[in-house]
A = this chain, B = another copy of it.
Amino acid sequence: MTNLESLLSPLTFLGNLIEEQDQLTPLKEYESWWRAEGMAISEAVDRAGTPWLRMFDQFGTRVDEILFPPDYWKMLKRGYQAGVIWRPFANGSGASLRMHYLLDYVTCFFDAGLGCPYIVSMSTAVPLKKYGAPELQARYLPHLLRRDESVWQGATWMTEAKGGSDLGANVETTARNAGDRWILNGDKYFASNVGAELAIVAARPEGAPKTPQRGTGVSPVNHAQDARATFTPHGLALFLAPRYREDGQLNYFIRRLKNKIGTRSVPTGEVELRDSEAYLLGRQEWGIYLILESLNLSRVGNIAGSVALAQRALADALTFAAGRVAFGRSIIEHPLLRRQFEERFAQLQDARALMWETIHLLDQVWQEIPRYSDRYHLFRLVAHLAKYWTAELAVQFAKWGMEVHGGMGVLAEYSAERWLREAMILPIWEGTPHRQMLDGLEVMERKRAHQMLFEHLAPHADQSELQHISARIEQHLHLPAEEKEAGIESIFRDLATFTARTLARKR
């Protein structure tokens, strides 16, 4: 019979994935802190709902202060101190992001929304490190890497009111070249971690074209191969914008905080850029690649958060089922419920393997710049599959956890309903299921990433299964364009399941 108890701790469940002792110690301390203090804080922050925004101080000066309770800031800073940002940068050139995602995992087991600030901070630090001019790095990077309470946060602001998938068409924020800096004007509509000290911002340099209105996805990777230096797909560039101008004034304004169903421990808002000072990251014509690189990082964070939340939902359901008695025994001992737990536990193990592989692949490619290697495209396909599949798992487990709780599951007093509210963002941000499927389709079509995947999986796969799915995909790729797109769902889901199950077998 399965050892379901390993569900109760994120580190126990991750188990021997964590090979290095010097990683395990801070992770264990971090998990202990959550149990001793963080859980109660997190529950209180969720219960308090959307915080207020104090736009002006009482003398009428604009301040845009987010009124979280003090405990929130303590909880938030704890992860930075544990090393969610500074650790990956501490090892010099052979940097691995694993420790970032492991800390994300532990975080999201306890507070699924709190992973977001860490993830977007990393998605700010990495492009600054990779693409920032030396003096820009010197000025800003040390703030992001601090190990104490004075640490700065990052944020990634792309989406505008007309929607997030089709950035090429919908970004209306403009960037004007003003010599040593750029001047940004526009509104960002879903601005996560909205009070951050630094943000990377997608904007359209004056004179750059809008996306030609064809094609299906944001993914411009294929265009890159053909690209000439003078061509800017989608016309976007990526900028770094600090919260305060050089003269100490606010450099952007928070119009309001969004009232969300979940993830209340990350403040999401609307941002107004009004002659905001910003600095170009990388080459102007690479903008969309940099945006997608940033999305790679946060997408993997989403995967880690999804698996962690799925685990948490099962863990709480297990605790409930062990304590609740019906028909003379605890309900975990009822055969049907027991079976359901075991099936979900097995799925969770598959998800863990898929997550881990995605992190490893990212570690191999995250320092690449255009033009990218084949490995990069393999990573992209796996990330699309994993993002889609793990987020779905998180939602379904959270839903099922509520059912296990029965009537208790819908009461705001207890945790079960929270996990569903938290989970629902996971399939949505960093790209909806539709986007994962369509972008996954594209990288298969254009890069034949599925072939690389099958080669990658072959040593561990059931060969007949592998051949079957491989044939289905080849066949599908020969369909007419409309039908290829329309029918992608089931094949994509099966490919994800196959990949996860095969990877789980690998270990």
Q: Please list the residues of chain A having a beta carbon within 8 angstroms of any beta carbon in chain B.
A: 37, 40-41, 44-45, 47-48, 52, 54-56, 58-62, 67-71, 159-166, 169-170, 189-190, 213-217, 255-256, 258-263, 270, 320, 323-328, 334-340, 395, 399, 402-414, 417, 420-421, 424-425, 427-429, 432-434, 437-438, 482-483, 485-489
**Given contacts A165-B406, A260-B410, A327-B213, A70 and B71 within 8 Å (CB-CB):** yes
A334 B261 Cβ-Cβ under 8 A? no
Q: Which one of B44, B258, B438 lies within 8 Å of A70 (CB-CB)?
A: B44
Per the bound structure, the CA–CA distance linking A432 and B382 in Å amounts to 36
How many monomers of this protein are in the complex? 4
In the complex, which of the residues B256, B395, B412, B425 contacts A256, with contact meaning CB atoms closer than 8 Å?
Answer: B256
Given contacts A48-B69, A60-B161, A410-B428, contact A327 B395 (CB under 8 A): no
A165 partner residues in chain B, CB cutoff 8 A: 326-327, 406
* Smallest CB gap from A336: residue in B: B485
Task: State whether A327 and B71 are in contact (beta carbons under 8 Å apart), knowing that A58-B414, A261-B417, A340-B489 are contacts in the complex.
Answer: no
The answer on a CB contact under 8 Å between B433 and A403 is: yes
Extra A-B contacts (14), CB below 8 Å, given A214-B327, A335-B482, A403-B432: A44-B70, A60-B189, A162-B325, A163-B326, A163-B406, A164-B407, A165-B327, A166-B326, A190-B407, A259-B411, A259-B412, A261-B421, A395-B399, A403-B427
Neighbouring B residues of A47 by C-beta, 8 Å: 52, 67
A314 CB, nearest partner CB in chain B, Å: 16
How far, in whole Å, are A429 and B421 apart by their CA atoms in the complex?
A: 19
Q: Across the two chains, which residue of chain B brings its CB closest to A59?
A: B323
Is there contact, CB below 8 Å, between A163 and B340? no
Q: Could you show 14 A-B contacts with beta carbons less than 8 Å apart?
A: A58-B320, A60-B161, A67-B413, A169-B327, A170-B326, A190-B407, A259-B412, A261-B412, A261-B417, A334-B434, A339-B489, A409-B428, A410-B428, A420-B420
Tell me whether A410 and B69 are in contact (CB under 8 A): no
Distance in angstroms between the alpha carbons of A44 and B170 in the assembled complex:
32
Q: Are B327 and A166 in contact (CB under 8 A)?
A: yes
Does the CB pair A406–B259 fall under 8 Å?
A: no
A424-B410 in contact given A161-B56, A162-B325, A336-B434 (Cβ < 8 Å): yes
Residues of B with C-beta under 8 A to A420: 261, 420, 424
CB distance from A17 to the nearest CB of B (A): 30
Greatest chain B CB density within 10 A among A45, A326, A417 is at A326
A324 CB contact (under 8 Å) in B163, B405, B414? B163
Task: State the CA gap A39–B170 with chains docked (Å).
Answer: 32
A319's nearest neighbour on chain B, judged by CB, is: B58
- Of the listed residues A410, A427, A487, the one surrounded by the most CB atoms of chain B closer than 10 A to its CB is A410
Q: Given A47-B67, A327-B215, check contact A334 B485 (CB 8 Å).
A: yes
Query: Closest Cβ of chain B: how far from A160's Cβ, in Å?
Result: 8
Residues on the B chain within 8 Å of A339, using CB: 486-487, 489
**Contact yes or no, A424 B406, CB < 8 A:** no
User: By the criterion CB–CB under 8 Å, are B489 and A60 in contact?
Assistant: no
Separation in Å of the A167 CB from the closest CB of chain B? 10
CA distance A383 to B213 in the complex (A): 50
Determine the chain B residues whose CB is within 8 A of the CB of A399 once the complex forms. 395, 399, 424
Residue of B nearest to A60 (CB): B161
Complex Cα distance, B431 from A403, in Å, reads 10
Chain B neighbourhood of A215, CB < 8 A: 327
List chain B residues, Cβ under 8 A from A52: 47, 259, 413
B contact residues around A338 at 8 Å (CB): 486
Q: Pick the contact of A438 from B213, B336, B437 — CB < 8 Å?
A: B336
Given known contacts A258-B411, A260-B411, A485-B334, A326 and B169 CB-to-CB distance under 8 angstroms: yes
Q: How far is the CA of A338 from the CA of B438 in the complex (A)?
A: 14
Q: A392 to chain B: closest CB distance in Å? A: 9
In the bound complex, CA of A412 to CA of B338 (Å): 36
CB-defined contacts of A256 to chain B, threshold 8 Å: 55, 256
Bound state CA distance, A41 and B145, in angstroms?
28
Q: Which residue of B has the minimal Cβ distance to A62?
A: B161
- A258 and B59 CA atoms in complex are apart in Å by 16
Establish whether residues B421 and A403, one from each chain, have CB atoms under 8 Å apart when the complex forms. Answer: no
Provide the bound-state CA to CA distance between A170 and B166, in Å. 43
CB pair A425–B410 under 8 Å, yes or no, is yes
